[in-house]
Amino acid sequence: MARVAVVTGGTSGIGLATAHLFAARGWSVAVIARDQGRLDAAEAALSAYGRPVLAISADVADAQAVDAAAERIEQELGPIRAWINNAMSTVVSPADKIAPDEYRRVTETTYLSQVFGTLAALRHMKKRDRGAIVQVSSGLGIRAAPLQAPYCAAKFAVSGFTDSLRAELIHDSVDVSLTVVYLPAVNTPQFNWARTRTGHGQNAPDPVFDPRLCAEAIHFAVEHPRREIWVGRSSLMMALAQGLAPGFADRKAAEAWESQLEERPVPDRDGNLFEPVPGNVGTDGRFGDRTRRTRSEFWTSRERDLVVLGLAGVAAIGVAGLAAAARAPRRLLGRR
């Protein structure tokens, strides 16, 4: 039976790159998104790989719609083996200029969408004791930046929800993997349709990475489950800075204000927060000239744990050596 992967937000950017990668590697793929035109285009493109494809129009902030999509996928494609929660939205603005309904909507689309997708997948995976769920997060879910308070908060919430659920699955001995993938700045159409309240367009700060690198990391998380994966050196550096020197990280984040904005003034835009922006936008954004083409720059929590264990071993040897050195003079004195 064919393996079935579900990708939310699967008609553009990282989601579309991920859907293509899974289809190219023999998976049947279902994509969930809002815009019917892009769904039709994605379905046609993915069908070229020769595997069954299903494109479903649904708002991932609607729990019932996500449940219905999961039921349809199970009936038409087969048992869901992988569920990738990729959909998101943001508002680029100082925090005190963002309206309550905008905070609520970003929370629904960026955090609750991952909760609803995870729960829908689990209802099917738990009874089979098999499956992989991947939460697509961001370095901003580890080290928050200015001008995106609702998005950063939502991504932080994703990690808390996932850690709590993972502990429950371990307790119940359920063999469903949960991975959080933390992404850097990526060359996607997101920067063309995010809601803005700054008088400037949204810019992707360097270094900018290829969405296909993110797809590779997501696919790796399904085939080789890990607790966490960091994509791009910038995501790794954000995690290190926040863990080791959060005050320093605060100051560096404050300096990132200007790098998130285009230089020339442009009118604010409503973006895709409440309604999809029409048009077939594809996988890549407008930063192709600055995009790093690497397909392998990601690190896993297993590699981190090995480094930590190695450092702990070195530290333990060092402490033992210091203790031995401290005792040596007393032994020598006792022999006189």
Active centre residues (catalytic): 137, 151, 155
Q: Which two tokens stand for residue 75?
A: 């009936």
| Angle ∠(219,301,284) on CA atoms, nearest 5 | 40
What whole-number distance in Å separates Cα of residue 51 and Cα of residue 27?
Answer: 7
Are 216 and 192 in contact by the 8 Å Cβ rule? The answer is no
What whole-number distance in Å separates Cα of residue 19 and Cα of residue 76?
Answer: 17
CA-based nearest residue to 114, from 35, 32, 56: 32
- Going by the DSSP 8-state scheme, the letter that residue 48 receives in this structure is T
| Angle ∠(232,234,238) on CA atoms, nearest 5 | 125
Torsion (CA) 162, 163, 166, 170 in degrees, nearest 10: -170
